[in-house]
């Protein structure tokens, strides 16, 4: 069996996938740290242990993500644009537009029928429209990230969050809380603000169905609902056995598999 691995070091979460026999043998998600090289090694070894494999059995390792250059045992590192496109296409063959909402940036990726990158747009200058934006607002509201979706589907109209800048939006949210505005309305407004930023990126690339979302924010049903409503376009879900947060690492493992076969 040809065994490869992908290690995705993101700004907030790091992921590792062990791949072989045309399937995911194991995957691990853990928090990123100030020592990305150590984090990469830890999650890689945990993934190997879960797969019941030794390091010597892995033919090729590819690093990707924000800290991809800090994966010391990787044979190469590849842009997360290519990895998310390839991973999304493998998980759902019909995927043509990939929306990756990460901790630090948001990317819209267009791929062809083989999962190859065609075009992309990226927001990497501001935290608005990213997972970091929601984390910041959760601290202000005293909520956990997993409470946002429940709040989103509660009764009440969304508040209008006028500032796209995360710093000014934070001040706006604090004012809304002090005015006694119900938290569900504020959460809906935050999701709508994020969806507006994402929609502007999507429109630069265009939508070719199926449209899928990757990254940790993909687990927030409220965000998916807000983006769908803003775009007036339904997002397609990955099969239930595929965690959208590991798509980048999966793509890296697939590219590693291509490399191994070429060699």
> What residue ranges of the chain are covered by domains with CATH 3.30.420.40?
1-92+241-263, 95-237
Long-range contacts of residues 106-113, Cβ cutoff 8 Å, at least 24 apart: 106/130, 106/197, 106/198, 106/201, 107/80, 107/81, 107/201, 108/198, 108/201, 108/202, 108/204, 108/205, 109/81, 109/84, 109/85, 109/205, 110/205, 110/206, 110/208, 111/85, 111/86
pLDDT, tens digit only, all 263 positions of the chain: 999 999 999 989 999 999 999 999 999 999 999 999 999 999 999 999 999 999 999 999 999 999 999 999 999 999 999 999 999 999 999 999 999 998 888 999 999 999 999 999 998 666 667 888 899 899 999 999 999 999 999 999 999 887 666 667 888 999 999 999 999 999 999 999 899 989 999 999 999 999 999 999 999 999 999 999 999 999 999 999 999 999 999 999 999 999 999 87
Give the CA radius of gyration of the chain.
19
Question: What's the pLDDT tens digit per position in 180-206?
Answer: 999 999 999 999 989 998 999 999 999
Strand partners for 75 = none
Q: Thinking of the domain 95-237, which architecture would CATH place it in?
A: 2-Layer Sandwich (3.30)
- Which CATH number, 2.60.40.10, 1.10.443.10, 3.50.50.60, 3.30.420.40, labels domain 1-92+241-263? 3.30.420.40
The distance from CA 215 to its chain's CA centroid, rounded to whole angstroms, is 1
Using an 8 Å Cβ cutoff, are 11 and 102 in contact?
yes
Q: Which two tokens stand for residue 156?
A: 């009440």
pLDDT at residue 126, rounded to an integer: 67
pLDDT at residue 104, rounded to an integer: 82
Question: What's the pLDDT tens digit per position in 25-49?
Answer: 999 999 999 999 999 999 999 999 9
Q: Cis ω on the peptide bond leading into residue 191 (within 30° of 0)?
A: no
């Amino acid at each position: 069996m040809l065994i490869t691995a992908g290690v995705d070091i993101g700004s907030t979460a790091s992921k590792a996938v062990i791949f072989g026999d045309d399937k995911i043998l194991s995957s691990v998600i853990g928090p990123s740290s100030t020592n990305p090289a150590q984090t990469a090694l830890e999650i890689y070894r945990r993934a190997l242990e879960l797969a019941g494999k030794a390091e010597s059995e892995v033919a090729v390792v590819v690093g990707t993500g924000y800290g991809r250059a800090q994966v010391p045992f990787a044979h190469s590192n590849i842009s997360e644009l290519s990895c998310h496109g390839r991973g999304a296409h493998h998980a759902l063959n019909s995927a043509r537009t990939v929306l990756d909402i990460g901790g630090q940036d948001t990317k819209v990726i267009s791929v062809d029928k083989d999962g190859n990158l065609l075009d992309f747009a990226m927001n990497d200058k501001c935290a608005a429209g990213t997972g970091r934006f929601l984390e910041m607002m959760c601290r202000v509201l005293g909520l956990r990230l997993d409470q946002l979706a429940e709040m989103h589907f509660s009764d009440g109209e969304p508040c209008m969050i006028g500032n796209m800048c995360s710093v000014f939006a934070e001040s706006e949210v604090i004012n809304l809380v002090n005015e006694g505005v119900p938290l569900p309305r504020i959460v809906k407004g935050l999701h709508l603000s994020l969806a507006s930023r994402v929609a502007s990126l999507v429109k630069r690339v265009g939508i070719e169905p199926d449209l899928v979302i990757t990254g940790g924010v993909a687990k927030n049903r409220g965000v998916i609902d807000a983006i769908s409503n803003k775009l007036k376009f339904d997002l397609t879900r990955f099969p239930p056995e595929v965690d959208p947060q590991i798509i980048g690492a999966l793509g890296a493992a697939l590219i590693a598999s291509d490399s191994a076969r070429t060699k």
